[in-house]
Amino acid sequence: MRLKDKVALVTGAGSGIGRAVALRFANEGASVAASDISIANAQETASMIEELGGRTIALSGDVSVGEDAKAMVEATVSEFGRLDILLNSAGISARNALPEGASPETIWDKVIEVNLKGTYLVSWFAVPEMEKAGGGSIINLASTMGLVGYPAGFGGGFNPYPPSKGGVVQFTRTLAIDSARKNIRVNCLCPGFVATNFTKALTDDPETNAFLEELHPMGRLGRPEEVANAALYLASDDASYVTGVALTVDGGYTAQ
């Protein structure tokens, strides 16, 4: 087991990539605090972990609110005694940020708050606890859209999602440099388009789905489990000399 006796906090653990990572970590021996904006979804993930025989708690909160971010970290340490791994997976897109009719400014602010500020806040409270534990690994969920722009004609010009994920990439690099002497590694994952509830509005349309598949040299979308495997590598001691990296898991998307 590659994460035996480790303690992990996973935000956005109620579905998609976050859930896949929480389950993968638990399978590898970690105790997992599964956090989500929806307590019902977090509890469902926790139940799945318990069925695997893992130790877990379900947490709920808004990562973009400082007190909630602090409470997630404190609850994890209170339950398991330490914090070794943080996966910042909680995120939204302009498609699901706010109800229809919201202003462009409101949508921009909300996406930046959750995706970038939320990653910052949970990390802010996690780093001191990792220092106490002697080190740790922070993994931020960015995106290929944090490295390149949306394809022409896809409506990305004023979309706040790519800038929010580009910010996560840069935050990852700067925090990695600052935390290196504390034995805390900080990396991010940049998935291509992955088939989850997050992308369901796109993949439910056959024409759009075919367009997205064609963008990837491997000719298909990714699976949450494939991103979880990469997260496991970054969380484990196998990546002991890896920090400040934006690791693409994208079927060749950014190689073009």
- Tens digit of each residue's pLDDT (9 = 90 or more) over 123-146: 999 999 999 999 999 999 999 999
What pLDDT, on a 0 to 100 scale, did the predictor assign at position 100? 77
**Contact criterion met (CB below 8 Å) for 224 and 17:** yes
What pLDDT, on a 0 to 100 scale, did the predictor assign at position 247? 98
What pLDDT, on a 0 to 100 scale, did the predictor assign at position 94? 84
What pLDDT, on a 0 to 100 scale, did the predictor assign at position 197? 75
Q: Is the pLDDT at 196 greater than 90, yes or no?
A: no
What pLDDT, on a 0 to 100 scale, did the predictor assign at position 78? 98
Can you tell me the mean pLDDT for 14-30?
A: 98
**Beta strand pairing call for 246-249 and 7-11:** unpaired
Angle (nearest 5°) at CA 157 between 146 and 110: 65
The CA-to-CA distance between both ends of the chain, in Å, stands at 36
The set of catalytic residues is 161
pLDDT tens-digit map of 106-122: 999 999 999 999 999 99
Q: Is the pLDDT at 168 greater than 80, yes or no?
A: yes
68 contacts: CB under 8 Å, gap ≥ 6 = 61, 62
Task: Please report, as a single letter, which amino acid is at residue 142.
Answer: A
Q: Is the pLDDT at 222 greater than 80, yes or no?
A: yes
Can you tell me the mean pLDDT for 49-67?
A: 98
Beta partners for residue 59, in sequence order: 35
What pLDDT, on a 0 to 100 scale, did the predictor assign at position 153? 74
The pTM for the full model equals 0.96
Average model confidence (pLDDT) for the chain?
95
Distance of alpha carbon 43 from alpha carbon 231, whole angstroms: 22
Q: Is the pLDDT at 97 greater than 80, yes or no?
A: no
Q: Where are the domains of the chain?
A: 7-194+224-255
Can you tell me the mean pLDDT for 69-84?
A: 98
Q: Is the pLDDT at 42 greater than 80, yes or no?
A: yes
- Say what the alpha-carbon torsion angle 58, 112, 203, 60 is, to the nearest 10 degrees: 10
Distance of alpha carbon 120 from alpha carbon 108, whole angstroms: 17
**Contact criterion met (CB below 8 Å) for 88 and 139:** yes
Architecture of domain 7-194+224-255: 3-Layer(aba) Sandwich (3.40)
How many separate helices (H) and strands (E) can be counted in the chain? 9, 7
